[in-house]
Amino acid sequence: MYGLIGKMNIAPGERDAVIAILLEGTQAMPGCRSYVVAKDPANADAIWITEVWDSAELHHASLALPGVQQAIARARPHITGFGERFETEPVGGY
Amino acid sequence: MYGLIGKMNIAPGERDAVIAILLEGTQAMPGCRSYVVAKDPANADAIWITEVWDSAELHHASLALPGVQQAIARARPHITGFGERFETEPVGGY
């Protein structure tokens, strides 16, 4: 399995809108076992995204999905940068 | 909801054993929506744990569950420290 933990910085006031875009655009991604979007309670302009994929290849392939491409296009103007980013190798859990 | 992202450092050679202990001890935790254990591909002696809970209170309560207490007791001798730790506020996903 392949995992990602990442922090995204959002323009002030746009966090809820970006969260909605991400949740809408990531519902049907082959090979994605988990995609959780969270607010950063310590930073009103940041979110955390944690992902579990069957493989890194399927994660990369997802970036070409029409729904994901649309979400990226809609969210991008509000993304001001990226914070921590960790790749992981999930081995179990639920 | 309440989320945790954390890195745990494990004594050399004990990572797989600790992962097994954690996965076994965290299967039935009231209020826990997700508990994923992952290897750190960049560090053979580290793991990442990502958690999604209905509330911080239920997370705290879980630490008193017999199965969790046993897992902590068994894993503790092999834990050498903790790395990054982030609290989050999950808002959606799967």
Minimal Cβ distance to A48: which of B19, B48, B86: B86
Please work out, in degrees rounded to the nearest 5, the angle formed at the alpha carbon of residue B59 by the alpha carbons of A17 and B9: 95
Average pLDDT, whole number, for chain A?
97
Closest partner residue to B90 among A36, A86, A88, by Cβ? A36
B16-42 residue pLDDT tens: 999 999 999 999 999 999 999 999 999
| ipTM computed for the complex | 0.95
For chain A, domains (ranges, CATH) are 2-88 (3.30.70.100)
Average pLDDT, chain B: 97
Query: What's the gap in Å between the CA of B94 and the closest CA on chain A?
Result: 5
Q: Which residue of B has its CA nearest to A39?
A: B89
Residue B73 pLDDT grade (very low, low, confident, very high; cuts 50, 70, 90):
very high
Q: What b/e sequence results for B28-41 when a residue is b if at least 16 CB atoms lie within 10 Å of its CB, and e otherwise?
A: ebebbbbbbbbbbe
Which residue stretches of A12-65 are H helix? 15-25, 56-62
